[in-house]
Amino acid sequence: MKLVSGSAIVTGAGQGIGLGIASRLMRDGANVLLFGRTPEKVEAAAAELNKAAEGRTRAVPFAGDVVRVEDITRAIALATREFGLPGILVNNAGTATLRPVLEMPVEEFDQVLAINLKGPFLFTQQLAKALVAARQPGSIVNISSLNQLSVTDGLAHYCASKAALANFSKVTASELGRYNIRVNVVAPGAIRTPLAEGAGLLTGAMGREFFAHTPLGKPCGEPEDVAKVVSFLCSDLASWVTGDTLSVDGGNHIRGLHSYADTLGITRAVDPSV
């Protein structure tokens, strides 16, 4: 398997799925710019990956905000100076909160949509412009979620953002295909990450619910499960694949989802007249 480029950018790369994707791309031959909001996290992640790579490939940290165009352009410029113009982009950065629609502040809705949807739009637009100008092929992978297919109470903003991201990816795949830039989506289910474990999504009642709804018979996957699929989509093995969504959820999408809010016991009756 050969990656389409030896230079890559992964957003949300300081931990969890993003870190796993960056690690896999490096093992498969790419140098990676780790884009994240927290300097300490991306710097620690880069040190960890560089130690494991033993000089075969390199990771460079970059602290920035995916909804700031100036941060995005600086990141692309840095990756280009260090490794050459990135032909691989993985839009992984995302956020979520758990709150009923009737109680959701507008600011919270806007923040989730900005990071989960506007961020991938801006990064895709800026890098695609550079790739088209350079007549260079590329592969863009947007990390969506099981929630683009199966919704749950309390995640209206998150589910909406991920469904929109899937359709955004189809449109960009159509528009960019003539330039030999492929765009695909990976939709993970429950994955063992610090965020998921910290929120209690993989143990107790929630863990039992995921187990019951996952045909492959375990409550969650690992970051490497997602990373392997991303690397495939960024390789010559997927040269005829674009505009598609690959679910990495142990089959969870087949059976649908329970209500996170109900399972965690945080949904309360809301009087719409108040």
Tell me whether residue 124 is in a domain.
yes
pLDDT at 258 over 80: no
Tell me whether residue 242 is in a domain.
yes
pLDDT at 158 over 50: yes
| Structural domain harbouring 154 | 7-264
Tell me whether residue 188 is in a domain.
yes
| Domain tally, the chain | 1
pLDDT at 159 over 90: yes
In the block, tokens 């000089």 appear at: 55
11 has which bridge partners?
35
pLDDT at 268 over 60: no
**pLDDT above 70 coverage of the chain, percent:** 92
Residue with the bigger pLDDT between 263 and 45: it is: 45
In which region does residue 256 sit, left (phi positive, over 0), alpha (psi from -120 to 50) or beta (all else)? left
pLDDT the model gives residue 238: 98
Q: With cut-offs at 50, 70 and 90, classify the pLDDT of residue 198.
A: low
Tell me whether residue 272 is in a domain.
no
What are the DSSP E strand ranges found in the chain?
7-11, 31-36, 59-63, 88-91, 138-143, 181-188, 245-248
Distance CA 271, CA 45 (A): 46
Tell me whether residue 274 is in a domain.
no
Residue-wise pLDDT tens digits, 105-150: 999 999 999 999 999 999 999 999 999 999 999 999 999 999 998 8
Q: With cut-offs at 50, 70 and 90, classify the pLDDT of residue 269.
A: very low
Tell me whether residue 259 is in a domain.
yes
| Contact indicator for 36, 91 with CB cutoff of 8 Å | no
In which region does residue 266 sit, left (phi positive, over 0), alpha (psi from -120 to 50) or beta (all else)? alpha
Tell me whether residue 1 is in a domain.
no
Distance CA 112, CA 16 (A): 18
Tell me whether residue 158 is in a domain.
yes
The catalytic residue among 158, 168, 232, 260 is: 158
Active-site annotation holds for 158: yes
| Contact indicator for 166, 247 with CB cutoff of 8 Å | no
Residue-wise DSSP of 38-74: -HHHHHHHHHHHHHHHTTSS-EEEEE--TT-HHHHHH
CATH number for position 156? 3.40.50.720
Average pLDDT for the chain: 92
- C-alpha distances in Å from residue 122, one per residue of 17, 73, 212: 21, 10, 38
